[in-house]
Amino acid sequence: MNLNRKLEGRRKAAVFFVVGICLVGFAMFAPDAGPHRDWGFIHVARQASWHRPLDWEAAWCSLKIILLSLGLCLIIEACGTLLMKFEHELMGFLVYLLHIVPVLGFLAGSYYLIKSLV
């Protein structure tokens, strides 16, 4: 019974890792929007203005920030889960603390998305 729970946890971690890699890959390699192709997508999202509603280029780049953050969150979750399954509780806890970074990215991407659409 205990072996099945360990294998199930490892399978879930593997699925989280693969989905996270796919989201990060999509966010990094999907084409940027607008005429500012030399700029990074984070810069395009940050340049959105409250005075210019429905800035679709900035909205797309904001969505890419959100997807990147979600992908990083899944990758961190998978790594922390695997460390906990291999009985490295302290390292697993420290890896789980890294969730702060993608959560801040998700909040920033959501703010930029609202800013570009309103």
For residue range 5-21, list pLDDT tens digits in order.
778 888 999 999 999 99
87 confidence band (pLDDT: 50, 70, 90): confident
Question: For the whole model, what pTM was predicted?
Answer: 0.89
Q: For residue 77, what are the contacts with CB-CB under 8 A and spacing of at least 6?
A: 13, 16, 20, 96, 99
Mean pLDDT, residues 54-80: 95
Q: What is the pLDDT of residue 36?
A: 66
Q: Tell me what pLDDT residue 4 has.
A: 81
Residue scoring higher pLDDT (50 or 1): 50
pLDDT of residue 37: 66
**Tens-digit pLDDT profile for residues 18-65:** 999 999 999 999 988 767 666 788 888 898 888 888 999 999 999 999
